[in-house]
């Protein structure tokens, strides 16, 4: 029996080891750029059957920086890889570079992770904000937008779960901050926090119009506010237009990492958990402790389906319940 178990464990170890070759490299810092490099594809690769195409892969390029380790892996500095398939040469070409966000550039200058909001404290912890600027992290660049690229019309953007968009050039991988005009979802002295911005999705049958979900940061400070569904159109990418909104229960601010979309509904799965920004979290610059339990019965009794001409909410109170 012992010999059988030992043999099984040995085979299992060999199998797992063979399957995981190189897996750890996904979580290993590599900030090296790759100048555009092309490799010939095999003759039977069907490049000639489709038009010239390209795509972007985003990832974390630095899990540690100048002696500081990011304890939450998604806090690390972003890196982008651009792949092209030029039809006439039957090649695959790759270009890669660290995401030159303002946060990354300031970190390079300072020799440490610069002020910005992150989920977990670094190891060792970053220096605290100075007394004369206690909210330096909240007011920092907050533009580590490596999560999701968007093509809206002829323009390209990088986004994540924050209000900041970066406009990028797919050929050079250069980025610049994208500023939205004052619109009907701007509020107070701070921008909207685009909860679920990492999963902003196109309208059904319309790739020139993208739908997002957002809340106002000032509302999160005072404990009451609204959840907005907004649209960005290719004809006017500098504006976000509100399609609908619902008033949220007191002290309830859901972290919507994803949502569904039909022709007439936004499908929101609202969990019994709330994200509350307070003075301590804004001053510390870490967000992991801002998510708290919220009574699901109170949530269910407070929200109903809201109908409007433009858009409606179809509320799901948890991941398994699709009733109104």
| Prediction pTM value | 0.81
Q: How far is CA 221 from CA 175, 176, 225, 277, 290, in A?
A: 31, 29, 10, 6, 12
One domain, residues 248 and 147: no
Report the percent of the chain where pLDDT is more than 90: 30
> What's the confidence (pLDDT) of residue 240?
83
One domain, residues 274 and 251: yes
| Residue 291: other Cβ atoms inside 10 A | 16
Whether 127 is in a domain gets the answer: yes
Q: Which residue, of 149, 178, 207, is where some domain finishes?
A: 178
Q: Which residue, of 155, 178, 201, is where some domain finishes?
A: 178
**Residues 243, 128: Cα–Cα separation, whole Å:** 40
Q: Which residue has the higher pLDDT, 251 or 122?
A: 122
Closest by CA position to 117, among listed 159, 57, 89, 75: 75
Whether 239 is in a domain gets the answer: yes
One domain, residues 164 and 257: no
Span 19-35, average pLDDT:
86
> What's the confidence (pLDDT) of residue 71?
95
Q: Sorting pLDDT into bands at 50, 70 and 90, what band is 317? A: very low
Q: What is the pLDDT of residues 207-263, one digit of tens each?
A: 888 888 877 766 666 777 788 888 888 998 888 888 887 888 888 887 777 778 887
Whether 322 is in a domain gets the answer: yes
Whether 5 is in a domain gets the answer: no
> What's the confidence (pLDDT) of residue 147?
87
One domain, residues 151 and 259: no
DSSP 250: T
Q: What is the pLDDT of residues 299-308, one digit of tens each?
A: 665 554 444 4
Q: How far is CA 106 from CA 11, 77, 132, 222, in A?
A: 49, 12, 19, 31
Q: Provide the 3-class DSSP secondary structure of residue 109.
A: helix
One domain, residues 103 and 63: yes
One domain, residues 99 and 88: yes
Q: Which residue, of 150, 178, 206, is where some domain finishes?
A: 178
Whether 6 is in a domain gets the answer: no
Number of domains the chain is built from:
2
Domain span holding position 153: 26-178
Closest by CA position to 293, among listed 274, 317, 269: 274
């Amino acid at each position: 029996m012992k010999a059988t178990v030992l043999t099984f464990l040995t085979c299992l170890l060999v199998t797992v080891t063979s399957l995981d070759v190189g897996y750890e490299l996904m979580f290993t810092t590599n900030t090296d750029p790759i100048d555009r490099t092309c490799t010939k594809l095999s003759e039977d690769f069907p490049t000639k059957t489709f038009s010239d195409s390209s795509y972007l892969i985003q990832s974390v390029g630095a899990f540690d920086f100048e002696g500081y380790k990011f304890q939450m892996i998604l806090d690390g500095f972003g890196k982008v890889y651009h792949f092209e398939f030029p039809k006439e040469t039957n090649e695959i070409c790759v270009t890669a570079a660290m995401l030159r966000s303002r946060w990354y550039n300031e970190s390079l200058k300072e020799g440490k992770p610069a002020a910005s909001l992150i989920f977990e404290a670094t190891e060792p912890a970053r220096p605290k904000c100075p007394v004369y600027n206690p909210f330096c992290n909240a007011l920092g660049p907050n533009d580590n937008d490596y999560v999701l690229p968007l093509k809206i019309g002829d323009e390209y953007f990088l986004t994540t779960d924050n209000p900041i968009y970066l406009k990028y050039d797919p050929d050079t991988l250069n980025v610049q901050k994208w500023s939205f005009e004052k619109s009907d979802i701007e509020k107070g002295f701070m921008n909207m926090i685009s909860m679920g911005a990492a999963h902003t999705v196109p309208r059904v049958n319309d790739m020139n119009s993208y739908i997002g979900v957002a809340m106002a940061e000032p509302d999160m400070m005072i404990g009451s506010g609204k959840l907005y569904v907004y649209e960005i159109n290719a004809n006017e990418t500098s504006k976000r237009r509100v399609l609908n909104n619902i008033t949220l229960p007191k002290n309830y601010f859901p972290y919507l990492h994803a949502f569904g979309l039909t022709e007439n509904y936004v499908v929101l799965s609202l969990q019994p958990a709330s994200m509350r920004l307070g003075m301590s979290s804004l001053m510390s610059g870490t967000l992991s402790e801002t998510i708290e339990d919220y009574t699901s019965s109170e949530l269910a009794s407070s929200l109903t389906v809201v109908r409007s001409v433009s858009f409606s909410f179809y509320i799901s109170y948890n991941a398994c319940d699709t009733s109104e």
